[in-house]
Structure 1
Amino acid sequence: MLIAIWAQAKNGLIGKANRLPWHLPNDLKFFKQMTEHQTLVMGRKTFEGMGSRPLPNRQTIVLTRAKDYIAPAGVIVLHDKQAVLDYAARCEQDVFIAGGAAVYEEFIPNCDRLYRTLIDAEFTGDAYFPEIDWTRWHLVEKKVGEKDANNPYPYYFETYH
């Protein structure tokens, strides 16, 4: 199954200099819970923004047009959408699309499910989630995230099918 997962501010922002523009540990915990023992697909800049290392207990695929890109051991490098779709079709795990904006835009039409953390705050940055056809999606779950000293913004975990 192909699934997109992301967090966004209410103004649609998803990134600043290839990183998250906020610190929300409960969202990071949710991301880990959903993606552990699964496959992650991300663009090169997103991967490099995470320190150019694969996350533990996940197969990482870096999508890049650079044919000479060298990734760390254990990371798969693919160069186009069809290669990712072919990989997902034969993969026994769920395949999560994990950014950045151009990668989301390319793969959302092929996804079966969406997991969005919606942060009810605005931030500044340089990457925004692309426009998608929300009429195609049905909200099946919306959970209020726990706000506390470490998670200072109101936020919601949403699941769409």
Structure 2
Amino acid sequence: MITLIAAVAENNALGKDNQLLWHLPDDFKRFKTLTSGHYIIMGRKTFESFPKPLPNRTHVIISRQKDFQPEGCIVVDSLEKAIDICPKEEDIFVIGGGQIYKQSIAIADKVDITRVHHSFDADTYFPEIDLNQWQLVFEEFHPKDERHEFDFTFQTFIRK
């Protein structure tokens, strides 16, 4: 199963200048829980936004740079090759960025998003979720608190 996983603002903003626009510890915790032990597919810029590779995950990075080869990671030059390299019987998570989400939403089986209830100025956006193609099967609201600056909702969509 191919799952897109992202934190997305009300206006579909994902980030700006290769940085997230918010800090939501419960979103990070959910991301870690869902993706640990799995293959994660991402673009080079998304990988470069991490201080180091994420533990307990196999990183598959899409890059056209021939000399880009971070230690312990798999680098390919297309989404198709990234998917082909992952085990067929396991869940695969696409974790960004915007261009990779745009390419992969047409072939994804599931979308797990954290909807941040705020709009942001951004340079990277998540594709629109077409409710004619996707069904909301889970929703859990979290109000802002001392650790979370914004209200947010965990949402899971499956392809109809």
Deviation at 1:92, TM superposition (A): 3.9
Residue identity matched to 2:123: D
- 1:110-149 superposed matches below 5 A: 110-149=107-146
Gaps of 5+ in 2: none
Cα deviation digits, residues 10-58 of structure 1 (max 9, x gap): 111101111211111111111111101111111000110113x210011
Query: Aligned-pair distance for 1:124?
Result: 2.1
Q: Name whichever of 149-158 and 123-132 sits farther off.
A: 123-132
2:115 is paired with a residue whose SS is strand
Structure 1 range deviating more: 131-140 or 148-157? 131-140
Identity percentage over the alignment? 39
Aligned length: 158
Query: How is 1:9-88 mapped onto 2 (pairs within 5 angstroms)?
Result: 9-51=9-51, 53-71=52-70, 73-88=71-86
In the superposition, the TM-score normalised over structure 1's length comes to 0.92
Task: Note if contact 2:115-2:155 (Cα within 8 Å) is conserved in structure 1.
Answer: yes
Q: Is the 8 A contact 2:6 2:114 kept in 1?
A: yes
Q: CA RMSD in A?
A: 1.3
Q: Distance in 2 between matches of 1:93 and 1:126?
A: 32
Hey, what's the Cα distance between the residues in 2 that align with 1:46 and 1:126? 13
Distance (whole Å) between structure 1 residues aligned to residue 113 and residue 77 of structure 2: 26
Q: In the TM superposition, what is the alpha-carbon distance from 1:95 to its structure 2 partner?
A: 0.8
User: Is residue 115 of structure 2 the alignment partner of residue 95 of structure 1?
Assistant: no
Q: Which amino acid is the alignment partner of residue 18 of structure 1?
A: N
Q: TM-score, structure 2 length as denominator?
A: 0.93
Match of 1:105, SS state, is helix
Structure with the higher strand share, 1 or 2: 2
SS of residue in 2 equivalent to 1:46: helix
Shift of 1:75: 0.7
- Kept in 1, the 8 Å contact 2:6–2:96? The answer is yes
Q: CA deviation at 1:146?
A: 4.6
| Inter-partner Cα distance in structure 1 for 2:42 and 2:89 | 19
- What CA distance in whole angstroms lies between the structure 2 residues aligned with 1:91 and 1:17? 34
Superposed CA offset, 1:61-107 (max 9, x none): 11111122121x2111011122122123x344311000000000001
What is the one-letter code of the residue matched to 2:66? K
Q: Distance in 2 between matches of 1:132 and 1:154?
A: 20
- Structure 2 distance, partners of 1:140, 1:65, is 36
Equivalent residue of 1:30, what SS? helix
Distance 1:76 1:47 in 2: 12
Shift of 1:8: 0.8
